[in-house]
Amino acid sequence: MIYSKPCEYAIRALAFLARFPGDRAVQGRKIAKAEDLPAPVLGKVLQELVRKGLVESRSGPGGGFRLARKPQLITLRDVVAAVDGLDQFLECAVGLEGCSDDSPCPLHDTWKSIRRQLTTYLEVTTLADMAAAVTRKKELLNRPRRARSK
């Protein structure tokens, strides 16, 4: 994957939270268990998302985490920016200094096109979209397989 593990965990946790309506808060342990993520790392990631304004937290009975905005208003770009930053989309694909259209590296033209497509995808894909895709995936995985015909 092109994201760090903490960013991957953030996307998975936020897509999980997007499936819960309104003010309902979910405990970090429940998210970690449901998504099979390491709870200590996820806890740090969720706290960072609270600091960045994507998630709200409540302590005490009924406490936990919830999205700070509707899932339709949070894009994957928001998540990647909060956890990994966006520098990876500005830098040379092979790490060379001064890489530009005037002085390209060997991967410049290919990476420029891929970066544009990826940036567009991150900008238009919301947590609501991710939640719907995860729900469909889980339904497919849980569907009984038909016997193969011989």
Give the CATH number, domain containing residue 121: 1.10.10.10
CA–CA separation, 116 and 4 (whole Å):
20
Cα within 13 Å of Cα(129), Cβ side: 10
Asked if residue 149 is part of any domain, the answer here is no
Phi, psi of 3 (to 5 degrees): -105, 160
Question: What's the whole-number mean pLDDT along residues 116-121?
Answer: 93
Closest CA to 105 of 94, 119, 115: 94
| Least confident among 10-14, 45-49, 78-82, 96-100 | 96-100
What is the span of the domain harbouring residue 126? 5-142
Mean pLDDT to the nearest integer, 110-136:
93
126 inside domain: yes
Domain-embedded: residue 102: yes
Strand duo 64-67 + 55-58: pairing = antiparallel
Q: Give the residue with greater pLDDT, 71 vs 99.
A: 71
Instruction: Name residue 64's amino acid.
Output: G
Q: Give the contacts of 136 (CB within 8 A, at least 6 positions apart).
A: none
Contact of 105 with 60, CB cutoff 8 Å: no
Asked whether residue 115 is domain-assigned, the answer is yes
pLDDT of residue 37: 96
DSSP 8-state assignment for residue 92: -
Tally of domains in the chain:
1
Q: What is the pLDDT of residue 92?
A: 84
Q: Does the residue 24 lie in any domain?
A: yes
Instruction: Establish if 147 belongs to a structural domain.
Output: no
CA dist 89 and 116 (Å) reads 9
Residue 49 has pLDDT above 90, yes or no: yes
- The answer to whether position 53 is within a domain reads yes
Q: Would residue 150 count as lying in a domain?
A: no
